[in-house]
Amino acid sequence: MLYVDGKWVEDGQVAVDPEDRGYNFGDGIYEVVRIYKGRMYQWDGHLTRLFRSAKEIKMELPWSHEELTDLANQLIAKNNITENDDASLYLQVSRGASPRVHDIPSGIKPVIMGFVRSKDRPVADMKKGWTAQLVEDIRWLRCDIKTLNLLGAVLVKQYAKDAGAQESILHRNGVITECSASNLFVVKNGELYTHQADNLILHGITRQVVIDLARDNGITVHEEAFDIAFLQQADEVFLTSTTAEIMPLISVDGAAVGNGHPGPVILKLQDLFEQHINTSVLV
């Protein structure tokens, strides 16, 4: 069951207006929320980011936090996601439908759409790690907005896959930003480094959880830009995202990171993250 513009619709029965601006321009925003054991993790953070993204693209959301929370919970219930299930919730808001012009039409009504899919935690992958490829960051200069316009992300991920790697690590003129759909961290001498939360990266919910967990447990975190040479000398490298959690990167451009296996800081953070999931109040 999907929720589309005020109606509950079966899979395969959704009609998209050909002049919906999400469809024509990627003019809209979205969130992907983790569901552990049938309940949402970090929902408040996702809601806050959704409203921030809306504001940054000059879109007013006509729903309250309570209404969106209620909608998310209805999506979970109507899709029979129970306490035995891990899943992900996709929520998108397009600017709405109107005759096609580039500037923002007045009086346009946002169109909301949401669905839930079963999704297991990537347990085996998190033990083994992924391979990564450096790719030029060809995206725009407002990567802090979680916009539907993802062609840059699509292409950089495909460049990495074409080069035989599982994920791309993006750089702008040699400065590492993040990955195609996740934030990047490196470990050097037991300390964490990740790009500062500015306009060049998405302010990941998982990134912030990891920073907080690290600091609470005595691990120093530097939120500052670093270059390719620093990445190549890292002791450990990992990415973070809602669905990939804390994913070790075991090689970059074919060269092993450390000894080619997830290192001790990653293992510690994965452990802390698991405890956090199990002890957080899920909505």
Can residue 236 be called a binding residue for ligand PLP (CB under 6 A)?
no
> Among 202, 246, 252, 269, which residue sits at the site for ligand PLP (rule: CB under 6 A)?
202
Q: Which stretch binds ligand PLP (CB under 6 A): 16-24, 97-105, 199-207, 230-238?
A: 199-207
Structure-token match 């009086």, residue found: 107
- Residues 141-170 interacting with ligand PLP (rule: CB under 6 A): 153
Answer yes or no: 55 catalytic: no
Can residue 211 be called a binding residue for ligand PLP (CB under 6 A)?
no
Can residue 194 be called a binding residue for ligand PLP (CB under 6 A)?
no
CA-closest candidate to residue 228, choices 149, 163, 87, 132: 132
**Which single residue brings its beta carbon nearest to ligand PLP?**
204
Which is catalytic among the residues 58, 127, 128, 146? 146
Contacts of 71 (CB under 8 A, 6+ apart): 3, 63, 91, 112, 114
Can residue 206 be called a binding residue for ligand PLP (CB under 6 A)?
yes
What the block records as the tokens of 34 is 């983790």
Q: How far apart are CA 181 and CA 247, in angstroms?
A: 12
- Residues 18-57 interacting with ligand PLP (rule: CB under 6 A): 32
Helix (H) or strand (E) segment spanning residue 241:
strand 236-241
Contacts of 23 (CB under 8 A, 6+ apart): 16, 17, 94
Q: Which stretch binds ligand PLP (CB under 6 A): 110-118, 205-213, 215-223, 270-278?
A: 205-213
Can residue 205 be called a binding residue for ligand PLP (CB under 6 A)?
yes
Per the CB < 8 A criterion, the answer to whether 150 and 26 are in contact is yes
Structure-token match 């996702």, residue found: 46
Per the CB < 8 A criterion, the answer to whether 149 and 176 are in contact is no
CA-closest candidate to residue 156, choices 125, 130, 178: 178
The residue among 61 and 197 lying less far from ligand PLP, judged by its C-beta, is 197
Can residue 181 be called a binding residue for ligand PLP (CB under 6 A)?
yes
The residue among 131 and 241 lying less far from ligand PLP, judged by its C-beta, is 241
Please list the active-site residues. Answer: 146
Contacts with ligand PLP, residue ranges (CB under 6 A): 32, 153, 178, 181-183, 202, 204-207, 240-242
